A and B are shown apart, each in its own frame.
Chain A
Amino acid sequence: MAVVFEKPKSLADVPLHYCPGCPHGIIHRLVAEAIDELGIEGKAIGVAPVGCAVMAYDYFTCDMIEAAHGRAPAIATGIKRCRPENIVFTYQGDGDLASIGMAETVHAAARNENITVIFVNNAIYGMTGGQMAPTSLPGQVTQTSPYGRDVNHCGWPIRVCEMLSTLEGPEFITRVAVNNVKNVNAAKKAIKKAFQNQMEGKGFNLVEVVSACPTNWGMTPQQALQWVESDMLPYYPLGVYKDRTAAKEGK
């Protein structure tokens, strides 16, 4: 018998602090698998966010830095501009990337900064206990939208991939999900490509991973993954939003 599935080497052998059923663990693993398969563990430098994944620096075995809230793309820029031979990635949530760090996100994309951004969209601020996020859905009940997100009062959720794909800059912008096996496998492919592109010097790669927050959504893990399918994905359709190389090659 041969091992067909095991923990990737680049994922540290420590218990993850995430809530039961939190897909952060799946997404961490996909990142680590991509790093392993591309053989870049020794070259990778990761930037952890502020949010639930704040302690990601303990979970990846490559060199890591912990960013201020939203600033990961700027820090990644600083590192990559110093060490272009290294593979630099950020791992950020929706509040981090699409609210407080939107300027850093947009401009890193506009510069086509040669980095890989993993953007976990679970439509809520998880670490602080479930407040409305820039990606919370219309009508979504959170601690700070207790009567449901009223778009007339606090605006509409932001579709990051659609917005960034209007820029000339970025190389690869895609949205995936981790709510079932098929989608997890597709997410893995996208993440790997986002690293591969960086290795080839192609520029800015962002993979939005539509995720879930069972705890703060007030659901079981299974219900949460169903809600991703029924409510999240209609607003955040999966797909490749920009792929410059593919476009150039007429694919």
Chain B
Amino acid sequence: MAKVTFRTDLCKGCGLCVNACPKGLLAIAADQINAKGYSPAVMTDMEKCIGCAFCATMCPDCIITVEK
């Protein structure tokens, strides 16, 4: 069981976390727009998250916190 938290307001929607996730659990939420005007990254299935922190490792804006 792991938990990933995004500071969505700071996300620039670059998608590097999406590519990094070995389980393919992240996505860019095309239907959302944050305060910066970007479509942010979101977790699609928290249950399956293994807490590897690959997403956070690749996030250039340091907006991801991972708990395990």
Contacts and interface: CB of A to CB of B under 8 A. Distances in A.
Interface of A: 1-7, 11, 15-16, 18-26, 28-29, 180-181, 184-185, 214, 220-222, 225
B66 A21 contact: no
A184 B20 CA distance: 12
Nearest to A33: B62
Nearest to A16: B61
B56 to A, nearest CB: 4
Contact of B67 (A1, A15, A23): A1
Interface string B1-37: 1110000001011111001100000000000000010
B43 interface: no
Contact of A5 (B1, B10, B15, B66): B66
Interface of B: 1-3, 10, 12-16, 19-20, 36, 38, 51, 53-54, 56-62, 64-68
Contacts of B13: 20
B19 A2 contact: no
B15 A21 contact: yes
Given A5-B65, A11-B62, A222 B16 contact: yes
B53 A5 contact: yes
Nearest to B1: A1
A2, A6, A11, A214, most chain B CB atoms within 10 A = A6
B58 A15 contact: no
Contact of A26 (B10, B58, B65): B58
Nearest to B60: A25
Given A4-B66, A5-B65, A185 B14 contact: no
A59 B62 CA distance: 12
B14 A20 contact: yes
B44 to A, nearest CB: 18
B15 A25 contact: no
B57 A221 contact: no
Give 8 nearest A-B pairs by CB, closest first.
A25-B60, A21-B14, A20-B12, A5-B66, A20-B14, A5-B53, A5-B56, A1-B67
Contact of B10 (A15, A19, A185): A15
